Amino acid sequence: MSRALVVQTSFLGDMILTTPLIRELARRGPVDVVATPANAGLLANNPHVRHVYRYDKRGAHAGARGFREVVRLAAADGASDIAYLAQGSVRSAALAAVAGYIERIGFETSAGRWLYTRRYPYRRDRHHAERLWSLAGHGGDESPEVGVLRPAVYPGDADEAAAQRLLDANAHVGEPLLAVAPGSVWATKRWPYYAALARRLTLLGRVVVLGSEGDRELAQAIVGETFGSAIDATGQLSLLGSAALLRRARVLVTNDSAPLHLGSAVDTPTVGLFGPTVPALGFGPLATARRVAEVPMLECRPCDAHGPRECPLTHWRCMRDLTVSDVLEAVESVRRGEET
């Protein structure tokens, strides 16, 4: 039985979208994963993962000595082991090669492709979860069912308890939860009207704000706009604790960022707000009930694969012209269980 090593040291969302590949490979044998310290926590309790090797490539494992330490941990057990390079840098490919993986699989567009033994097309017309899943040897023109590609995370008892403690501390007594995630590493992805939306959402239930410690200022603006009724969960839970909380929500409204994929992983009805990016880049929601809210017919979209820090044309219409009414309409449709 061959062992698979999956190397994924990109962003949180990328790790979440790698879980369908991991699930597929686990049907064939043990799966180990090389992950960053930031995204390793997403794999806790995952029944499809045997070991997670943390690779702090910009910290503790920076430089040759740290690289050798991760190589030692992840080294191939035998010639039948296969490395899957879900993150395509030269460093990731070199790690697999030095660790003794005779077969190394990745995308033909990756920077480290010259170290691969097998290369697959990077299908720009497919969702990124499907692109990653295809590294397991799948291809063709027909896409699989969404359920095959839906990512999954597995909050444990401690995560569930942490989410419940936060709700109890905020006197939540069973009202419907409506989650919003206003943050993003990329400034132009942050829709500017979350506070106004939250005020309207209070007519439907209790608003809870998800995000990192860095999103606290955005959360406090929402809490203020809802006269203190919104629950600020930013920076208070682990990633899986946030997933446990999100699983309790009736709907999630989020920018094109990691919480969108976390919502898909727990199948929370999701409204994804897309401005400088577009779902066609491959990162739209995969929840059963999902909608995308965007400003169509803008010739400048998309302007960047991630979202620049400032609008190149200075008007930022892709977000400013997306109204609260537009988003509320999308919220109502996913609450009724409609798909995109």
Residues 286 and 146: beta-carbon distance below 8 Å:
yes
The count of other CB atoms within 10 Å of the CB of residue 58 is: 11
User: Is position 211 within any domain?
Assistant: yes
Tell me the residue range of the domain where 70 lies.
Answer: 4-149
User: Is position 154 within any domain?
Assistant: no
Residues 181 and 270: beta-carbon distance below 8 Å:
no
Q: What is the pLDDT of residue 147?
A: 82
Distance CA 59, CA 41 (A): 17
Distances (CA, A) of 250 to 32, 237, 272, 285: 34, 19, 14, 15
Q: Which residue reads 């063709």 in tokens?
A: 140
Among candidate residues 321, 320, 302, the one with its CA nearest the CA of residue 312: 302
Residues 61 and 69: beta-carbon distance below 8 Å:
yes
Q: 164-210, pLDDT tens digit by residue?
A: 999 999 999 999 999 999 999 999 999 999 999 999 999 999 999 99
Q: Are 29 and 125 found together in one domain?
A: yes
Among candidate residues 264, 308, 296, the one with its CA nearest the CA of residue 283: 264
Distance CA 310, CA 232 (A): 27
Number of domains into which the chain is organized: 2
User: Is position 340 within any domain?
Assistant: no
User: Is position 140 within any domain?
Assistant: yes
**pTM for the predicted model, two decimal places:** 0.95
The residue out of 149, 170, 194 marking a domain boundary is: 149
Mean pLDDT value across residues 205-228: 97
Name 37's Cβ contacts closer than 8 Å, sequence gap at least 6: 54, 56, 59
Q: 286-312, pLDDT tens digit by residue?
A: 999 999 999 999 999 999 988 899 999
User: Is position 156 within any domain?
Assistant: no
User: Is position 155 within any domain?
Assistant: no
CATH of the domain at 128: 3.40.50.2000
The residue out of 149, 179, 212 marking a domain boundary is: 149
pLDDT band at 111 (very low <50, low <70, confident <90, very high): very high
Count each helix (H run) and each strand (E run) in the chain, helices first.
13, 12
3-state secondary structure of 202: coil
Helix orientation angle between 216-225 and 194-201, rounded to the nearest 10 degrees: 40
Q: Are 145 and 166 found together in one domain?
A: no
Q: Are 181 and 120 found together in one domain?
A: no
The residue out of 118, 149, 180 marking a domain boundary is: 149
Q: Are 134 and 274 found together in one domain?
A: no
Strand ranges inside the chain, DSSP E: 4-8, 31-35, 51-54, 82-85, 103-107, 118-120, 177-181, 206-209, 231-232, 249-255, 270-274, 290-294
Least confident among 1-10, 53-62, 146-155, 162-171 = 53-62
Q: Are 61 and 12 found together in one domain?
A: yes
